Structure 1
Amino acid sequence: MSWLTQTPVHHPYRSLISVFVLWKAFLLLLAILTPGPGYDTSTTLAQWHRDTRDIKGLIPTILRQISTKLTRWDAIYFTEAARRGHVFEQEWAFSYAFSKLINLLAAGSEHTGAFPYEFKESALGVAVAHMAHATSAVVLHRLACIILPGMQGRKLAFIAACLHILSPGGLFLSAPNAESTHSLLSFTGALLFAQSLSVSGISTSIQDGLLLLAGIMYGLSTAVRGNGLLNGVIFLEEAFRILYSFMQDFSFTKFRRLAAVGLAGICTGLGYALPQYIAYQQFCGNVNSTGEDSSREWCRRAIPSIYSFVQEHYWDNGFLRYWTLSNLPLFALASPMLAILVYSSFWTLNVESGDTIQVCPTGQLTGRLLRSLATPQIILTVMVFFCNHVQIITRLSSGYPVWYVWVAALIVDGYTASPSAPKRHLDGSGYGQTIVQYMVIYAAVQGVLFASFLPPA
């Protein structure tokens, strides 16, 4: 893995695109060469798979093969919902916003005749996933450069972006799934939030506008994946900071900042609430021929969330429900990623104290930014460990930037954060390289299993 530390960073984006193309080509080759439809034939039952009359030429044939191999697991729900809308209750566990995006792109391609194939929803979903993943790597690089200024920071930023490309999410970041799009929107929100902060503590109107844009991006990421709602904690923390500063003195600038924080938090919440409202309109308030209310039971809850209901009712999510002896291998499978997320989150607590592996030089806002961005990450880790199907952490982790920065710091065998402090050469690079090897091996093995429609997923 020495190429990560030796690659020049004078042209980082060109280098990142090269790494991206090579890695994606490797994963797609694994998927294409994986024999058979796997133990689940759901994809092959689709009409577009059975009907080959419109498939002429080498490129459409290859695209159809890739679409077949990558339309697995959740992607079947996304692409089917994109084709004919969310019809059944359980389909609302899968992003309405992402399926709608694919639907609009498919309608546009059909209208223009640019992609006149029955498998267009799957193929366009694959294209969106690849473009979003590549762009999110670029955005993460820019975010890390802001968090970690200087030449050393640029080196770490490049490594962190490469790690995002090599994410253990693997083919889930190439398939018609929401993970790549969520990562792009989440990283963009984090970037805008970082740009909205002021070293002096007094923000300008432009910075407050960037904060509002960050809330909009986080809201869109929440609409794409519900766990994006956790990013709202960042705005809650910022609001507490401003309210605490009111104890010292009150100013219009602080009030404007607080208003921007409030609007940003509302935008984040709307990303979760609006799809719920659309589902409520579809399933609730129905009256049958006898005049009785035939709405589903979740409609009568104090907070009628279809997402929470289907996760509990159809997927048996809930506190300690997944803690069974038969699921122990899945906890073992998820344990490396869980440990990485937990350790990297606690690492941010000591970024400025010199008590742990550090990066040098750091800006005045480095520690604060890392700790703020680590809060949603650790909350997600705890929630998945206790309440969800734990193995999904390998792909959900792709949208959280802090652990990439931590592993990058390990790879370069980090230094103390304070330029005046003696540099302690800590033996961290070995751990960093081990993590990278785990990511590559896991993504490769998972790629074969994914394309064969074999668990875990």
Structure 2
Amino acid sequence: MSWLTRSPIQHPYRSLISVFVLWKAFLLLLALLTPGPGYDTSTTLAQWHRNTSDIQGLIPTILRQISTKLTRWDAIYFTEAARRGHLFEQEWAFSYAFSKFISLLAAGSEHTGTFSYEFKESALGVAVAYVAHATSAVILHRLVCTFLPGMQGRRLAFIAACLHILSPGGLFLSAPNAESPYSLLSFTGALLFARSFSVSGISTSSQDGLLVLAGITYGISAAVRGNGLLNGVVFLEEAIRVFYAFTRDFSFPKLRRLAAVGFAGICTGLGFVLPQYIAYQHFCDNHNPTGEVSSREWCRRAIPSIYSFVQDHYWDNGFLRYWTLPNLPLFALASPMLAILVYSFFWTLNVESCDTTKRAFPTGQLTDRLLRSLATPQIILTVMVFFCNHVQIITRLSSGFPVWYVWIAALIVDSHTASSSAKGHLKRSGYGRIIVQYMVIYAAVQGVLFASFLPPA
């Protein structure tokens, strides 16, 4: 990683695309060279996999093979829902918005005749994942540059963006999954949120407009992945701060800011609620010929959320349910990522007095506040996954949260700025290189497991 810290970084986006292409090519090669369908043959049972009559030519054959290798695990649900819609309750655990988007792309490609093969939903889902992942790396670079200006900030931003490319999410960020689109939307929302602040503390109307756009973007991210709802916490914090300032001294800019943050929070919530409402209409708001309401158990709840019901009923998620002895290896597998997320959160609480941070980049009051705000959804997700979910999924869910990338980047930069006499600091900064090695090794091993349909990918 030493070459990443050379300054100045003259062409960051060109360099990021180069890193992206090389890394993705490596992971794709691993997937294509992985033998056999693995222990689960779900993908090979798909109609588009069994029917090869319309596959003619080298490029379609390669695309079909790539689609087969990358349509694993959750991607099967996404692509099937894109092909014929969400039919069964358990499918609503997988993004209605993302599947609908792929369905629209597939319909458009078939209508125009540009891509009409039966495996088009899988192939287009892969394409969307690649584009979204590359773009999210660029957006993360812009985000870090926003609150860390100057050459040192550009260097750290470039490293953080590279770390996102090397995310332990691995092939989940290349497959027709929601991880890459969520990362793009999450980083874009964070960028708009960061740019909505003024150094003077008094926001302009255009900055308040950016805050609303951040809420809309976060709302779309919540529609793509349910945990995107956690991003709304940043608006709650801003609302409390503005309301406190508003009660002390009334002004129209403060009132406008309070209205903007309230609307942004509503938009974020709607992104989570709207898919639930569509599901409610599909399963609950209907009648049989006798006029009686045909209703599932979750339809009669005070808050009829199909998402929470599916997670509980089909995937057995719940408080401490995953805490069983057979799952202990999965906790061990997730422990490095859990530790990274927790440690980077506490780093943001003490960022202004941290020696490592001072050597890596200069911070200010606004930078410290933004880092803490953006780290809050990250720690909430970490606690929720640790106590209530299948814990190993944290390695890919973490890909859409920006702060831990910044923390690791600061460790790496610090390893090149600390004096040789600062042995304790050099030891701590060496953790950055160890984490990068973990990310690369984990993503490579996970890529083989993913393509072979073997757990615990």
The reply to whether TM is greater than 0.5 is: yes
User: Number of paired residues?
Assistant: 452
Secondary structure of the corresponding residue to residue 344 of structure 2: helix
Secondary structure of the corresponding residue to residue 265 of structure 2: helix
How far off is 1:397 after superposition? Answer: 0.2
**Distance of 1:272 and 1:6 partners within structure 2:** 42
After the TM superposition, which residues 226-241 of structure 1 pair with which residues of structure 2 at under 5 Å, given as runs?
Answer: 226-241=226-241
Q: Report the equivalent of 2:406.
A: 405
Q: Deviations over 1:170-210 (max 9, x none)?
A: 00000000000000000000000000011111000000000
How far off is 1:4 after superposition? Answer: 2.4
Q: Report the equivalent of 2:262.
A: 262
Q: Does structure 2 retain, via aligned residues, the 8 Å contact 1:148–1:363?
A: no
Q: Deviations over 1:201-242 (max 9, x none)?
A: 100000000000000000000000000000000000000000
Q: Report the equivalent of 2:440.
A: 440
How far off is 1:430 after superposition? Answer: 1.2
Answering whether residue 22 of structure 2 is matched by residue 22 of structure 1, we say yes
Answering whether residue 332 of structure 2 is matched by residue 332 of structure 1, we say yes
Query: Cα–Cα, structure 1 residues 384 and 303, in superposed 2: closer, same or farther, change >3 Å?
Result: same
Q: Report the equivalent of 1:419.
A: none
After the TM superposition, which residues 207-218 of structure 1 pair with which residues of structure 2 at under 5 Å, given as runs?
Answer: 207-218=207-218
Secondary structure of the corresponding residue to residue 322 of structure 2: coil
Q: Report the equivalent of 2:91.
A: 91
Q: Does structure 2 retain, via aligned residues, the 8 Å contact 1:373–1:401?
A: yes
Please report the TM-score for the alignment, with normalisation by the length of structure 2.
0.96
After the TM superposition, which residues 303-322 of structure 1 pair with which residues of structure 2 at under 5 Å, given as runs?
Answer: 303-322=303-322
- CA RMSD after TM alignment: 1.6
Q: Structure 1 vs Structure 2: percent identity of aligned residues?
A: 86
Amino acid across the alignment from 1:122? S
Q: Does structure 1 retain, via aligned residues, the 8 Å contact 2:79–2:99?
A: yes
Please report the TM-score for the alignment, with normalisation by the length of structure 1.
0.96
Q: Does structure 2 retain, via aligned residues, the 8 Å contact 1:347–1:356?
A: no
Q: Does structure 2 retain, via aligned residues, the 8 Å contact 1:78–1:98?
A: yes
How far off is 1:290 after superposition? Answer: 4.1
Q: Report the equivalent of 2:391.
A: 390
After the TM superposition, which residues 120-159 of structure 1 pair with which residues of structure 2 at under 5 Å, given as runs?
Answer: 120-159=120-159
**Distance of 1:436 and 1:6 partners within structure 2:** 17
How far off is 1:315 after superposition? Answer: 0.1
Q: Does structure 2 retain, via aligned residues, the 8 Å contact 1:407–1:432?
A: yes
How far off is 1:116 after superposition? Answer: 1.6
Q: Deviations over 1:85-116 (max 9, x none)?
A: 00001000000000000000000000000002
Query: Cα–Cα, structure 1 residues 94 and 7, in superposed 2: closer, same or farther, change >3 Å?
Result: farther
**Distance of 1:415 and 1:342 partners within structure 2:** 24
Amino acid across the alignment from 1:362? T
Answering whether residue 384 of structure 2 is matched by residue 378 of structure 1, we say no
Q: Does structure 1 retain, via aligned residues, the 8 Å contact 2:187–2:402?
A: yes
How far off is 1:374 after superposition? Answer: 0.3
Amino acid across the alignment from 2:300? R
Q: Does structure 1 retain, via aligned residues, the 8 Å contact 2:356–2:414?
A: no
**Distance of 1:352 and 1:265 partners within structure 2:** 28
How far off is 1:8 after superposition? Answer: 5.0
After the TM superposition, which residues 337-376 of structure 1 pair with which residues of structure 2 at under 5 Å, given as runs?
Answer: 337-354=337-354, 357-358=357-358, 359-376=360-377
**Distance of 1:153 and 1:289 partners within structure 2:** 66
How far off is 1:147 after superposition? Answer: 1.9
Instruction: Indicate the structure with greater helix content.
Output: 2
How far off is 1:412 after superposition? Answer: 1.2
**Distance of 1:228 and 1:149 partners within structure 2:** 27
**Distance of 1:14 and 1:288 partners within structure 2:** 59
Query: Cα–Cα, structure 1 residues 148 and 415, in superposed 2: closer, same or farther, change >3 Å?
Result: farther
**Distance of 1:83 and 1:215 partners within structure 2:** 30
**Where in structure 2 are there 5+ consecutive unaligned residues?**
none
Secondary structure of the corresponding residue to residue 115 of structure 1: coil
